[in-house]
């Protein structure tokens, strides 16, 4: 297991080609995304895919999706949350967040509304079910296990077939329609952009890319949002500060036809809200470790203290982000919730910088990994998180019920609260 920042720079960046993802991990991820996509490919194929997809995830491109985030977050507030607040009913907020983020990624990834297609929704939910511990051991330990004729694996394969058919049908419809490239970029989904990209490849690759966006863009975001709500439920002063920041932004734009929460510039002015999200992602690593790597050749890995670590060919390497994010050598008071540590020119930022000898936190804070295999959609994720957190906090207070359980639970994809049952109450207009 590696956590030394200099060693991580060596393995994940400067010598990353010697440390591909472990074949079993690639097989497991490839099964989920139905092919060799960004999370399962290596070498020249990964480089080509990354080169083709990178232009679609720049800040300029993600800007066009912010309005969708705001529209669906506002709809969730006006329907599900408003109904629960009015009736004083309890909500499984994990389910609410999963539904919301799935709606967002369905529309943004390939212009699809899951709730108009219950068969596709059921298939996706089946694919997202947490495997039993025994199945997990098999998936991560036995080559080819995912193809065994076991009932739960058969159900996964059937669900994949349904989703593959749905996405393929969407692709065929888009290809048969008027050229999407003639449309305003702000009205194109990611699939439109891929299909009109001259460097794009086959329809099967497009299916894999859509599944990659859905899996990475749905589960991780909903899990991160769940932990934000856990932290906010315990911290009324943090909630008040977010709410004031949002109020300041929206009050100067009352005359605007578009909410500032639906604009890239507006949401990125919410510096404290973003710091709360970043601190939550530090304390609650939804990916508690990066995908396991394996050394292809013998290597000597440099460490911060000047020593070297010999890694023979075939050595498996785990990077525990959950431990790295709580390392007292990198973070002052590492178990405390301190959003200000992510705000430049604050004492908390300066204290952490001093501890790290003014070095960047790039190799001690990795919610989106780092290097050529970092999360291509990190700008997308942060923008979506900002919009949803700001919209929710602007309108509602959230409280954990007596049945809630916020222990960390691994669901085979991410780390989530074991039970996020909450009550919601509408914010007074005079507050």
At 63 the pLDDT is 94
Distance of CA 157 to the CA centre of its chain: 24
Instruction: Give the Cα separation of 377 and 389 in Å (integer).
Output: 18
**Dihedral over alpha carbons 347, 348, 349, 353 (to 10 degrees):** 100
Q: Which residue has the tokens 């396991």?
A: 292
CB-CB contact of 381 with 101 (8 Å) = no
Lowest mean pLDDT of 29-33, 99-103, 153-157, name the range.
Answer: 29-33
Is the pLDDT confidence value at 195 over 90? no
At 386 the pLDDT is 99
Joined tokens for residue 337: 């919730």
CB-CB contact of 383 with 66 (8 Å) = yes
Per DSSP, 255 falls in state T
Is residue 375 part of an annotated ligand binding site?
Answer: yes
Residue 182 phi/psi, 5-degree rounding, is -80, -5
The domain at 34-287+367-426 falls in which architecture?
Orthogonal Bundle (1.10)
pTM (2 d.p.): 0.94
Query: Mean pLDDT, to the nearest integer, of 274-291?
Result: 96
Joined tokens for residue 194: 């891929």
Is the pLDDT confidence value at 355 over 80? yes
Is the pLDDT confidence value at 186 over 60? no
* Half-sphere exposure in the Cβ direction for 369 (13 Å, CA): 22
At 181 the pLDDT is 47
At 140 the pLDDT is 81
Q: Which of 81, 76, 80, 69 shows the shortest CA–CA distance to 399? A: 81
pLDDT band at 371 (very low <50, low <70, confident <90, very high): very high
Residue 292 burial class via C-beta count within 10 angstroms: exposed 0-12, middle 13-18, buried 19 and up: middle
Cβ neighbours, 10 Å, residue 393:
24
DSSP 282-306: HHS-SSSSPPPEE-SS-EEEE-TTS
At 254 the pLDDT is 60
Is the pLDDT confidence value at 256 over 80? no
CB-CB contact of 239 with 397 (8 Å) = yes
Joined tokens for residue 397: 């207070």
3-state secondary structure 26-39: HHHHHHHHCCCCCC
Query: Mean pLDDT, to the nearest integer, of 216-237?
Result: 95
Better pLDDT: 295 or 30: 295
Query: Mean pLDDT, to the nearest integer, of 47-75?
Result: 94
Q: Residue ranges of the domains in the chain?
A: 34-287+367-426
Query: Mean pLDDT, to the nearest integer, of 386-396?
Result: 99
Mean pLDDT across the chain = 92
At 253 the pLDDT is 63
CB-CB contact of 280 with 224 (8 Å) = yes
pLDDT band at 204 (very low <50, low <70, confident <90, very high): confident
Is the pLDDT confidence value at 232 over 50? yes
What proportion of the chain, given as a percentage, has pLDDT over 90?
72
Query: Mean pLDDT, to the nearest integer, of 24-43?
Result: 90
Joined tokens for residue 136: 């997990």
Query: Mean pLDDT, to the nearest integer, of 232-247?
Result: 98
């Amino acid at each position: 297991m590696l956590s030394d920042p200099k060693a991580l720079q060596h393995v994940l960046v400067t010598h990353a080609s010697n440390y591909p993802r472990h074949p079993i991990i690639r097989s497991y991820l490839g099964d989920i995304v139905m092919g060799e996509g960004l999370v399962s490919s290596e070498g020249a194929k990964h480089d080509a895919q990354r080169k083709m997809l990178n232009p679609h995830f720049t800040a300029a491109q993600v800007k066009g999706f912010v309005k969708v985030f705001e529209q669906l977050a506002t709809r969730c507030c006006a329907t599900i949350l408003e109904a629960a607040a009015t009736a004083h009913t309890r909500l499984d907020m994990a389910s609410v967040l999963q539904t919301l983020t799935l709606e967002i990624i369905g529309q943004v990834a390939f212009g699809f509304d899951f709730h108009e297609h219950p068969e596709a929704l059921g298939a996706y939910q089946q694919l997202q079910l947490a495997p039993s511990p025994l199945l997990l051991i098999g998936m991560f330990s036995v080559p080819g296990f995912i193809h065994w004729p076991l009932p739960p694996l058969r159900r996964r394969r059937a669900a994949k077939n349904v989703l593959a058919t749905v996405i393929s049908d969407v692709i065929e419809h888009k290809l048969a329609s008027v050229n999407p490239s003639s449309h305003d970029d702000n009205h194109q989904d990611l699939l439109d952009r891929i299909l009109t990209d001259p460097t794009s490849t086959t329809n099967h690759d497009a299916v894999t890319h859509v599944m990659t966006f859905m899996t990475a863009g749905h589960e991780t975001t909903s899990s991160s949002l769940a932990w934000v709500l856990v932290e906010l439920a315990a911290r009324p002063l943090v909630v008040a500060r977010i709410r004031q920041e949002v109020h300041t932004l929206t009050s100067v734009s009352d005359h605007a036809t578009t909410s500032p929460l639906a604009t890239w510039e507006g949401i990125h002015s919410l510096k404290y809200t973003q710091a709360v999200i970043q601190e939550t992602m530090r304390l609650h690593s939804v990916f508690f470790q990066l995908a396991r790597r394996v050394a292809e050749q013998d290597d000597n890995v440099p460490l911060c203290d000047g020593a070297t670590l010999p890694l023979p060919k075939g050595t498996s390497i785990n990077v525990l982000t959950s431990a790295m994010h709580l390392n007292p050598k990198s973070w002052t008071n590492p178990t405390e919730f301190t959003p200000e540590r992510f705000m430049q020119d604050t004492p908390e930022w300066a204290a952490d910088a001093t501890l790290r000898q003014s070095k960047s936190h790039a190799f001690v804070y990795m919610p989106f990994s780092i290097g050529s295999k970092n999360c291509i959609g990190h700008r997308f994720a942060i923008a979506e998180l900002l919009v949803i957190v700001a919209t929710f906090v602007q309108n509602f207070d959230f409280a954990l019920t007596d049945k809630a359980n916020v222990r960390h639970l691994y669901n085979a994809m991410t780390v989530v609260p074991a039970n996020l049952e909450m009550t919601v109450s509408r914010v007074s207009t005079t507050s």
